[in-house]
Amino acid sequence: MYLLFSLSSLTVLAHKEKIYSLEGTIGNREIIMEIVDIDGYYNGRYSFRDEKKSNYLEVEYDSITFTFNLLRYNLDTKNRELLEQIVITEDSLNNWSGEQRTPDGKVREVFLRPIKVIESEPHALKSDIKKSLTPYNYSLLRDITYESTSTQKFKKGIKIEWLTETRSKIKLFRFVKGFPDTTMVKINYYLEKVFIKDILNAYNYQHYETEIHISLVTPSILSMVEAVTSNISNTRETSNVMYLTLDLKTLNKLNIEDLIWLGEGETPRNGSKEYFIYRREVFAREIGNYLNGTYSKEINNSKCSYSNEKMFRFPEFYLTKKGMVLMLNDYKLSEKCKKQTWAVLRYKDFPEKWSPKYFN
């Protein structure tokens, strides 16, 4: 027992992390800075308050002085170039001072002190979301603002408002009509948590852009697709897609089995042994047969190989008025083949299989 306790303690100590959260000035401009120390390996970032764009730093520390190098990869020369260097030291009161140096010979004084998070101070986030933020991100989001851009109406009197965060240009939405006020507050709180992550990513990436498509809204379901293009620092852009189908009453993210069940007996727990058996032996076969029969023309014209049942085991999905769109994402498929949108499980073709909880 003692030996096990000692080994587990060593494991925890081996991953000890310390974070310095600082605010102050470089020259006459206000900044916030974060330095992360993991067992003596450091990384850092800082942002000017009036820009809200994180600059990532390589860090050297000699037990007295921190030296930060801001580097950029030059795509033309294939070399990393030094854009600036910040050298600071800490005094006995935990304040930091030093200077910023740039290759053109300019030198600016740097003064920093620990960030103090004061709950009574005004903050753009009025909810508990701000309590989960690091001091750096808390400070970064302190004065974000939104601009109302348009509204969109759906059946049953449901209405949403589209907003744009003015600095990052991230687009988001919230419900403004169609639900009791207490329900709408809970839904919008959930959505705020989703979109705050996008805003932070836009501040922390060199480029981060989102495009949101709401594919279905009912009194019980929200289904949406969010496409993201991003790059961190002079790197090749990457693309990613997030699919979210949400139970608007419980605010639980819905899985395919919550919506349509093609098996016998009780629906298995997501991720259980029975769930994987069902996806492999029932779901993949049923879906493969359905798609190859209903959409044989699309499959033959696609130049993509959809003949293997494994392709149909674990698709992403979103809902539309016609049915459930399956986004096949097997690793053997090319990116082009993953972007098809013809694979729809139409509601009318599975009349007894859809959950009556969500579909009438």
Dmax (CA) of the chain = 75
| Residues counted in the chain | 360
Per-residue pLDDT at 12 exceeds 80: no
Copy the structure tokens of residue 234. Answer: 């002079």
Find the mean pLDDT for residues 18-43: 93
Tell me which DSSP letter residue 157 carries: G
pLDDT class of 22 with cuts at 50, 70, 90: very high
Copy the structure tokens of residue 309. Answer: 């049942």
Per-residue pLDDT at 260 exceeds 90: yes
pLDDT tens-place string over residues 130-186: 888 999 999 999 999 999 999 999 999 999 999 999 999 999 999 999 999 999 999
Give the angle 81-82-87 at the CA atoms, nearest 5°.
165
pLDDT class of 78 with cuts at 50, 70, 90: low
CB atoms within 10 A of CB 112: 25
Find the mean pLDDT for residues 69-93: 83
pLDDT class of 8 with cuts at 50, 70, 90: very low
Place of tokens 């032996």: 281
pLDDT class of 39 with cuts at 50, 70, 90: confident
Q: What is the pLDDT of residue 126?
A: 75
| Position with higher pLDDT, 120 vs 263 | 263
Q: What is the pLDDT of residue 304?
A: 79
pLDDT tens-place string over residues 263-281: 998 999 998 999 999 999 9
Contacts 24+ apart (CB under 8 A), 134-139: 134/19, 134/21, 134/34, 135/21, 135/34, 136/21, 136/32, 136/33, 136/34, 136/45, 137/200, 139/21, 139/23, 139/32, 139/115
